[in-house]
A and B are shown apart, each in its own frame.
Chain A
Amino acid sequence: MMKTFSIGGIHPSDSKISKDCKIEVLPVPSKVFISVAQHLGAPATPIVKAGDTVKVGQVIAEPAGFISAYVHSSVSGTVKSVGPRKDLAGNNMTHIEIDVEGDEWVEGVDLSDTLITAIPEDNKAILEKIKMCGVVGLGGATFPAHVKLCPPPGKVADCLILNGAECEPYLTSDNRIMIERSKEIVVGAAIMKQVLGGCKTVIGIEENKPEALAAMTAAVAQLQKTAKGYDGISVMTLKKKYPQGGEKQLIDAVMGRQVKSMGLPIDVGAVVQNVATSLAVYEAVQKNIPLITNVMTITGDCLPMEKQHNYKFRIGMPLSYIAEVAGGVPEQAAKIISGGPMMGKAIANMEATTVKGSSSLLYLTAEQTVRGVESACIRCGKCAEACPMGLEPFLLQKYARHNMTDELEENAVQDCIECGCCLYSCPANIPLLDIIRIAKGDVIRIIRTRK
């Protein structure tokens, strides 16, 4: 019996069209624009100015708070300007514009393919390296990794869960790295496991990725045989169900524990990291490579097979450039999404650039994505059935439309994970999540001010 989370969930078609496309390396453009807001928390503070020369991997912005991260240059060249530029959503954000000259890396970076399996012993040094290399969670939230790997005093991690579920339809980048970089991911997992005090480690992968499952299982077995520090790592097959990759759902599926409302995973002894984060940790700790690259999927039903790609990109590349390299934006695309179709962001501005957490350029046709006209709620309860948090979206949206914050809090609007299952499943096309998301923000603000 394959495991999965216990409440709600939906089964959209997984559409992993590009799952067999090997990872290709994107050529570096002549100019990059690196955003200082590549992570959850405070945007980093730029430490370079126009005219400075930078190398690949050089720090160009420093964290501006506890929850913040270093940003490194992804290219070598000259800083042309530091100033506002429109991001994905069209809002102004400080970007560092760099003219590319050559490809010269900073000192101490190991660019070879050799796998380093021996894990350094000093946990403090490891954490420092993860922090200095600007590693953030690549599962979507881009939460700084080193913060997550330091449980608050009094809390002990029982289980490190590596998220390889990739439950979002269309996305295949995690699938590809699990196939092509499986050993590196396992080493990264072992490093994080050691930092967390040697807890057990489970790599959760959904059943629709048999190749990744096989590759990861083999990598774990081989490393356990040949190197030290790899005990207690196992691969778990999970039933396909969205949103399996949600932190709280994954903990429920793997450990059978549920995080309390407004609580953190560490409260139930869990730490969840994405497989891509694990790879970034490996590169940071074993190879001294800062997080300046990631893998993104170029896909969509309207793209022919030869234009489906999994690209290794560098941060700061304009999306329009990537789309051009990949063969152009298809005529039928009505909406372009960065991220998965369930939780990703619709791109308003193709001149925006890639960030650490970029995971896809997904082209959806009008037929697929245009919402139907909203009609009356028929109280079918399909939203409540689909909600993985066991909430009642039909009720929440009603309260939210009337600003009834007390009732909203009573009915746990603050627990909403914005997975989109409710809006997906509503037969009356009621914009449930649009409304609930705003109400959730309001209620969380009220709760915070109360404390």
Chain B
Amino acid sequence: MEKLLVSPSPHLHTKTSTKSLMRDVVIAMMPAVIVSVLFYGWSELLVLGVSVASCVLLEYLITKYLLKKPCTVCDMSAVVTGVLLALNLPATTPWWVVFIGAVVAIGVAKMTFGGLGQNLFNPAIVGRVFLLISFPTYMTDWTRPQGFIGGGIDALSGATPLGAVKEGGIAAIECLDYSDMLFYNIGGSAGELSAIALLIGFAYLLVRRVIKPYITCSIIATVAIFSGIFWAINPAEYTDPVFNILTGGLLLGAIFMATDYVTSPMSNVGGIIFGVGIGIITMLIRYFGAYPEGMSFAILIMNSVVPLINKWCHTKKYGR
């Protein structure tokens, strides 16, 4: 002790830091990552590697040479974006498409707004949607590459369940079993593979108090109620609630993307409004829109109203 340290109270601080929160999110995504790598093999590893590496590298280069600000790579938020982007792409995506996705995610959606904390839209989703619109052929190529285990045992080869419904009506998915969706057996983006893996991640995030359950639960509940009503009216035309919850990246979006701190409302009430909005928009796109699945678009649309929600939904104040 040479000189006494003097600072305003409080003198203790939580061990939680931006970095530890981001690390927890990465850990929570690990079950989904492991499942996708096991079933999609080397090509998924390539997508993951390119995505994470380019996100981190881009953030480093942009902060250092363009913004000339202290480097923020250490907070691991770029890693989160990279993993999320990879989980949102088909395992067969060529590396350069992944790289373009990373450029859009980090360069356009994140750093142009001023970096972490300033972006209006979830970077990974912006990257994904950009690719979906720019390279539709790559983005809807659902052929399953050879995995490390269980290659090619797709119950519904060549399409995602929601895509099949869009094309061939509800009859196209009669061969599907819920257990296929719950575990590993449906086509789609890498992260959609297994609902169980995503739910394990969700549980981890809740236990570590990284996120609160309001947004995720309100999305799932809204989708269930919305599709439930339509399904009850006409089960021959509309898909059922469980199917809608388990497919199309809904869980991936509800657990990892809609709950992104920066782009979601701060209050619990705001979170519920946000989740309900996402649920309704998703289902409207699925039932009546041109795209088979609407999670990404729904999140983007609701991201844009978050400032408004934040403005109107405040916390309950003591004594007021």
Contact = CB atoms under 8 A, between A and B. Distances in A.
Contacts of A345: 9
Nearest to B74: A375
Interface stretch (B114-122, B125-133, B155-163, B224-232): B114-122
Nearest to B22: A378
A379 B6 CA distance: 28
Contacts of A406: none
Nearest to A372: B17
B5 A370 contact: yes
B8 A12 contact: no
B4 A424 contact: no
Contacts of B318: 7, 248, 252, 258-259, 388-390, 415
Contacts of B72: 375-376
Interface stretch (A65-73, A123-131, A309-317, A332-340): A332-340
Among A258, A390, A391, chain B packs the most CB atoms within 10 A around the CB of A390
Contacts of B13: 369, 371-372, 423-424, 426, 429
Chain A contact residues: helix, strand, loop or mixed: loop
B114 to A, nearest CB: 8
Contacts of A332: 1
Contacts, number: 158
| Chain B contact patch, size range | 35 or more
A407 B65 CA distance: 37
Given A7-B316, A378-B18, A335 B11 contact: yes
A335 B5 contact: yes
Contacts of A342: 9-12
| Chain A contact patch, size range | 35 or more
Contacts of A421: 10
Contact of A384 (B7, B77, B315, B320): B315
Nearest to A333: B1
Interface string B1-38: 10011111111111011101100000000000000000
Interface in A391-433: 391-392, 394, 411-412, 415, 418-421, 423-429, 431, 433
Contacts of B68: none
A252 B319 CA distance: 9
Interface string B56-86: 0000000000000000100101000000000
B116 A420 contact: no
A336 B17 CA distance: 25
6 contacts: A7-B316, A330-B1, A341-B9, A369-B11, A381-B261, A433-B10
The 10 A-B residue pairs with the shortest CB-CB distance in the complex, in nearest-first order: A420-B10, A376-B117, A390-B317, A381-B266, A258-B319, A335-B5, A346-B6, A389-B318, A380-B261, A342-B10
